[in-house]
Amino acid sequence: MPSLWIDGKTYEVEAGKNLLQVCLSLGLDLPYFCWHPALGSVGACRQCAVKQYRDENDSVGRLVMACMTPVTDGMRITLQDEGSVEFRAMLIEALMTNHPHDCPVCDEGGECHLQDMTVMTGHNYRDFRFKKRTFNNQYLGPFINHEMNRCITCYRCVRFYRDYADGPDLNAFASKNHVYFGRDCDGALESEFSGNLVEVCPTGVFTDKTLKEHYTRKWDLTTAPSVCHHCGLGCNTLAGERYGSIRRIINRYNGAVNGYFLCDRGRFGYDFVNAGTRIREPLASSGETKTQVPVSVEKIQQLVSEMNAGKDKILGIGSPRASLEANYALMKLAGPEHFLDGMAPKESSLVRLALSILRNGPARSVSLQEAGQADAVFILGEDVTHTAPMLALSLRQAARQVCVQKAAKANIPEWHDAAVRELAQEERSPFYIAATGATRLDDVATKKMCVPLDGIARLGLAVAHAIDPSAPAVDGLADSDKQLAGEIAAALMNARHPLVVSGTSSGCSSVLKAAAQITIALARTREKVGISLIVPECNSLGIAMLANGTLENLDERIKSRRYETLVVLENDLYRRLPSAQVDALLESVKRVIVIDHTTSPTSQKAHLVLPAGTFAEADGTLVNNEGRAQRFFQIFAPEGEIQESWRWIRDICPESRGNRKTAWQDLSDVIEALCQDVPALAKIQEAAPTSDFRIKGLRVARQPHRYSGRTAMVAHKTIHEPKPPEDPDSPFSFSMEGYRGIPPAPLIPRFWSPGWNSVQSLNKFQQEVGGELTGGDPGVRLIDPDGSDSPGYFEDVPAVSTCSGDQVQLIPLWRIFGSEEFSVLSEAVQQKIPGMSVIMNPKDAEKANLKTGSMAVIESGDMKLQLPVSLCESQAAGTVAIPAGYRGAAWIDLPALGESGRGMKNERNPLVPDPDCSGSGWHSDCGSQSDLA
């Protein structure tokens, strides 16, 4: 351990780091701009200058940039000598000569790194009296606002967007005082990770456009730790509320999960919480027309007691998007054998297959952070950017791991970003993708194979066989495929951290099994093998661990059991089953009770609808695709009758079923019962401290100590300041009162520290800057294969494509913006949804007499679909990709075999114009609407 002399004190520090990171980790305040823990150092801003001395006798020293200087044993530096202090203040002064000083109207104000650093350096007075250069701002789409005059040219934005996220359309232009950061022309930013610019940019150049719609300063937001509900990865977030509406989402650092970043779906998809589609009061259908009208609590009780008097048989349908606690409550109400997981049957069997693969091992499911460390990747059947966006960002880092390894051999540390990139140039880690069509990671792929689903599975199994000849062989492979399989096998075997990625989105179990097969083969010769299996929703894995019953054979179940009451928890069954089947189901029972937060076709048919809280109005636990249980906390107490689903279920639970009103006072009671009942989930208790947790006798405050206007906020309604709501379920208070120090990691409600108002105050919450949060990153892993005995190989090798004649394989096409149920209710996200079209290979299209933009009719069984055609060379011949998960579109069981033919021009063409700058044909994603006339 090197020892370091700083301003008269000696510190033992970790070797291999740069001086800036080390100083910050020691808790010292050293200003910086261009360095970022995830992006490394480039030495662009010169703000982190310190003075370094040769030895004890050197009293002159020399200025060095801390972020560019590796720590060495016996190093002597000072942060406080006059020379370096003056240099840093002067530097800010120079940076600020062109800055507009418009903090009062700047959205960054109050959480601005530039403000913090300016104050920190002591540059308090402005002497510059001359004209400032001004820029034109650009339209960058619905997510990001642009205000270029505020730029201090730290280059962080391009280093994140272009270098880290591989975004093609943001760059630095011109030189000297005219350096400009933006696009070549106005237009929506193409990267799915553009929102991170808001947090990466240390000034107010890039800010959250959706926040602007209902702007609130950081110090006026009520915040609590949350977990993103928009896909199966469970990124950690901080949501902020004021006046009963969610104002924005920002990143909540979790070293093992999402690190410093979020995807745009997760960041900008929050507006469904505030939308008019919310269910805000209990509703019951009445009269002949069965219109739903608000009902009183008494009426609910009456309805429920009718149900209970009859000692109804209750069927409970849970949900992969509801918390474990809510699902468990319903499971208790209906009884485990009458509780179903609420997933589409095929999806359920795939999620369960994924679960068993993770449980059996031998591969270990990797965290997002570990995925980024992989140095050879093979993706089977997933367009990761669309189905698990942040995993795609991690995989982009994996693609650069060889560069880091190469640099290490040349003695260049990983943080020396420009040098690492310079050395590696275009070199990328071995990265293979087998998919049915174009994917958004194709640009980093070493090789890409586009084949029907069975072809993906066969290639996967061939790779497994190439790794371990005792794995079943695949007959009838073309030589080129054999060769590719050998190449992939060699790459995975030679890697230090091989990673196999697959998931449920293709709807094909053979693909999942093939992925597992590869890891089983790899594990025969090595200890560590990584696997990442993508699941569709935020609690898919959790519900699979909790519920045994599925929606399979639902009709028969209903007939044989004669259920009278159906309780549907946070689930729109029309997204899970064919509509005719759901219609019949809802007709077949006496009473349908739906507990949900947003109106859905299912809720509209219910006899009783109970308003549930969204992630923002309820607490709970989710299990992500890694098998990590994570707790999310309520942000604010909603007005009216909205309450947690588990409370509704508790409240309608009759005596005869063991009413839990007295037993379940708060969330901790539910969790405790759950953990006792379901041993596989027992560890979720450790995901976060219980509701009675206090620090120095205090709760953790959801509101910052600078929260303004609380005595006046409701003055238009009452002159008395209302008492803040109580929170029985968590260790948080809904007010400014409470503990302000650093709480345990799962309870961090915001990042702030004296002198550090921006997101970069996070430094103070980490054990070591860029590493784990103090006390360990939140979340607890539930699944770890014990590795005792290796599972056997899957023996069933799928035959070559089963399509015959005119038949094609219909493949579900998932879109980051469009396929997820709730983010699409946000206005900003809506602007990014590509129009619905089917994607075909040009050769198939020609056979069916179709061209770009013409209407195709797709038929499969009872299903008939009419959509415009997009052509894409990458779409595997014999397959047609069909948009999946779109709101309002009929549910289709995919994949399926079907036929495609020519349809009529349809009036109801659901195309949405692409807001992207026209003429930019660069977009590699064939699914984008730009290639549709």
Partner 1 sequence: MLTVEERQEIEKEIHHYEHKQAACIEAMKIVQRHRGWVSDESIRDIAAMMDMSPTALDSVATFYNLIFRKPVGKHVIMICDSVSCWIMGYENMRDHLCRKLGIQLGETTADGRFTLLPIVCLGTCDHAPAMMIGDTLYRDLTPEKIDTILKQYA
- Nearest 5°: the CA angle 909, 913, 148 is 165
67 binds ligand FES (CB under 6 A): yes
Q: Alpha carbon 211 to chain centroid distance?
A: 19
Q: Is 266 a binder of ligand SF4 (CB under 6 A)?
A: yes
Q: Are 595 and 604 in contact (CB under 8 A)?
A: no
Task: Give the separation between CA 36 and CA 185, rounded to whole angstroms.
Answer: 28
Torsions phi, psi for 686 (to 5 deg): -85, 0
Q: Is 903 in the site for ligand SF4 (CB under 6 A)?
A: no
Examine residue 168 and tell whether it contacts partner 1 (CB under 8 A).
yes
Q: Does residue number 265 form part of the binding site for ligand SF4 (CB under 6 A)? A: yes
> Which residue in this structure is represented by tokens 């050293």?
30
Angle CA(924)–CA(927)–CA(929) in degrees, nearest 5? Answer: 100
> What residue 390 binds from ligand FES, ligand SF4, partner 1, none (CB within 5 to 8 A, per partner kind)?
ligand SF4
- Which segment (89-97, 122-130, 231-239, 288-296) binds ligand SF4 by CB under 6 A? 231-239
The distance of closest approach from Cβ of residue 120 to ligand FES in the complex, given in angstroms and rounded to an integer, is 13
Binding segment toward ligand SF4, per CB under 6 A, in 258-266, 482-490, 497-505, 691-699: 258-266
Q: Binding partner 1 by CB under 8 A: which of 17, 51, 150, 183? A: 183
Q: In the stretch 25-64, what mask flags binding to ligand FES with x, by CB under 6 A?
A: -------xxxx-------xxxxxx----------------
Cβ atoms of 342 and 363 closer than 8 Å: no
Number of residues that bind ligand SF4 (CB under 6 A): 25
CB 222 within 8 A of CB 703: yes
Q: Which does 65 bind (CB under 5 to 8 A by kind): ligand FES, ligand SF4, partner 1, none?
A: ligand FES
What are the start-end ranges of the E strands in 108-210? 144-146, 171-173, 180-182, 206-208
152 binding ligand SF4? (CB under 6 A): yes
The H helix count followed by the E strand count for the chain is 26, 36
Q: Write out the binding residues for partner 1, residues 890-929 only, by CB under 8 A.
A: 919-922
Contact (Cβ atoms closer than 8 angstroms) between residue 327 and residue 319 = yes
CB 23 within 8 A of CB 30: yes
CA dist 12 and 553 (Å) reads 65
Is residue 262 involved in binding ligand SF4 (CB under 6 A)? yes
Q: Is 231 in the site for ligand SF4 (CB under 6 A)?
A: yes
- Measured between alpha carbons, how far is 576 from 893 in angstroms, rounded to an integer? 9
Other Cβ atoms closer than 10 A to 784: 12
Residue 399 contact, options partner 1, ligand SF4, ligand FES, none, Cβ 5-8 Å cut-off depending on partner type:
none
The H-assigned helical ranges of 335-383 are: 345-360, 368-371
- Rg for the chain, CA atoms, rounded: 28
45 binds, among partner 1, ligand SF4, ligand FES, none (CB under 5 to 8 A by kind): ligand FES
> Which x/- pattern over 636-675 shows residues binding ligand SF4 (rule: CB under 6 A)?
----------------------------------------
Contact between 173 and partner 1 by CB under 8 A: the answer reads yes
Return the number of the residue (46 or 230) whose C-beta is nearest ligand FES.
46
Q: Is residue 160 at the binding interface for ligand FES, with CB under 6 A as the rule? A: no
Q: Tokens standing for 411? A: 């003695």
Q: H-type helices in 443-578, by residue range?
A: 453-467, 479-494, 509-523, 540-546, 554-561
Distances in Å between the Cα of 493 and the Cα atoms of 138, 378, 896 are 47, 12, 35
Asked if 96 touches partner 1 (CB under 8 A), the answer is no
Nearest-approach distance from CB 115 to ligand FES, in angstroms: 17
Task: Give the integer Cα–Cα distance in Å for 429 and 409.
Answer: 15
- Residue 79 contacts which entry, partner 1, ligand SF4, ligand FES, none (Cβ below 5-8 A, type-dependent): none
Residue 137 touches partner 1, criterion: CB under 8 A: no
Residue nearest ligand SF4, CB atom distance: 266
Give which of ligand SF4, partner 1, ligand FES, none residue 32 binds (C-beta under 5 to 8 Å, depending on kind): ligand FES
Residue 390 binds ligand SF4, judged by CB under 6 A: yes
Of 162 and 526, nearer to partner 1 (C-beta) is 162
From the list ligand FES, ligand SF4, partner 1, none, pick the one residue 689 interacts with, judged by a Cβ distance below 5 to 8 Å according to partner type.
none
**Min dist. Cβ of residue 169 to ligand FES (A):** 25
22 binds ligand FES (CB under 6 A): no
Q: Are 34 and 154 in contact (CB under 8 A)?
A: yes
Q: How far is the CB of 599 from ligand SF4 (least distance, A)?
A: 22
Query: Look-up: residue for tokens 């290979």?
Result: 841
Burial class (CB in 10 A: 0-12, 13-18, 19+), 587: exposed
Residue 171 or 665: the one with the smaller Cβ distance to partner 1 is 171
Return d(Cα 385, Cα 387) in angstroms, integer: 6
DSSP state of 260: T
- Provide the binding-site residues for ligand SF4, judged by CB under 6 A: 151-157, 181, 201-203, 205, 228, 230-231, 233-235, 258, 262-263, 265-266, 389-390
